[in-house]
Amino acid sequence: MTTAAVRSARAAAVPPSTRRPGLGAALRWEVVKLAAQIRSRALLAAALVIPIAVVAVLNGQEQPPSDTIYGKLIHLSGYAMPLLMLAFAAQWVLPLLAAVVAGDIFAGEDQHGTWKTILTRSVSRGQIFWAKTLTALGYNLLVLTVFAASTIVSSVLIIGSRPLTGLSGQTIASGHALRLVVLAWVTAIPPIIGFTALALLLSVRTRNPAFGIAAPVVIGFAMQLLGSVSGLDLTRKLLLTTPFEAWHGLFAEHPFIGPLLTGLAVSAGWTVICLGSAYVSVRRRDITGG
């Protein structure tokens, strides 16, 4: 962030009125702080560049990664690759993307010892909580969008836009396949929001940025492991990683959206519980010592 940009943001953050600054001002400051971090910019750049490299390398390989869904078909259609990438990314990349900023955004204030500084400003704790939460959510959705767009566009450009074979063996025409692939990535939004809320909660409770970033990834792995155990059909539905697989139904000859609706409800449940607990913790927290 250049000094000029900081100055202009500061000018924007302090309107020339005597009105008490609200959520908008707190939000603007959180965005300025986030935009100034090397980590947040690096992640955004990585989300843009890394998929292109991965798509090119996978496409160059003679042997396709046939143990993941759609892996066998990556050489046949440019629409198979983004689905393979989605299935692969759901294992740990998406929880990590969700946690890099969200896991740090509260705990970073502990690390720098700046809670007192921001809480003595004329905004309430609630406003600071929502400003941080909205910043983390907005950033994560931006990263997901960049990641998805980069994956889909590079796949179609590198491999081509031949029709896709669906999960009932049917042929899906190019235009329809593109819409379904975009929709499949859209279905990753609710669990990403859930993982963001989980990372925010851990960030608030542990007061440790490293823990706030690593723990959601580890929890995601543990959920994957639990979800791969046969016979836990109801338990698996309640896991935050299961909604990442709900797109499969869209690619059947007779599409079904039951798992999508369940996934939406489960993600909403996790989000509400995690955000609620985080809010209570921030409101009740005694910061006089730190």
Partner 1 sequence: MRPIVTRTAAVLAVGAGIAATIAAGHPEITKTGLERALAPTFANLYVHQAGILGIPGITTATIGATTACDKGGPEVADTGAGPNWICMMSWADNQGKHQDGKFEVTVKTDATYVAGGPSKIVGLARITDKHGHDVPNPVFEFDGVISTG
Positions in the binding site for partner 1 (CB under 8 A): 66, 69-70, 72, 75-76, 165, 167-171, 227-236, 238, 242, 245, 248-249, 251-254, 256-259, 262
> Minimum CB separation from partner 1 for residue 167, in Å?
4
Concatenate the DSSP letters of all residues of 75-137 into one string. Answer: TT-TTHHHHHHHHHHHHHHHHHHHHHHHTTTTHHHHHHT-HHHHHTSSS-HHHHHHHHHHHHH
200 near 133, Cβ under 8 Å? yes
Nearer to partner 1, 68 or 124 (CB): 68
Nearer to partner 1, 58 or 118 (CB): 58
In sequence order, the β-bridge partners of residue 171 are: 165
> Minimum CB separation from partner 1 for residue 180, in Å?
13
Cα 250 from Cα 178, distance rounded (Å): 12
Nearer to partner 1, 122 or 228 (CB): 228
Which residues neighbour 249 within 8 Å (Cβ) at sequence distance 6 or greater? 255, 256, 257, 258, 259, 260
> Minimum CB separation from partner 1 for residue 67, in Å?
8
Cα 181 from Cα 174, distance rounded (Å): 10
Nearer to partner 1, 209 or 227 (CB): 227
Nearer to partner 1, 236 or 285 (CB): 236
> Minimum CB separation from partner 1 for residue 170, in Å?
5
Nearer to partner 1, 72 or 125 (CB): 72
> Minimum CB separation from partner 1 for residue 1, in Å?
41
> Minimum CB separation from partner 1 for residue 232, in Å?
6
Cα 33 from Cα 132, distance rounded (Å): 10
Cα 73 from Cα 281, distance rounded (Å): 48
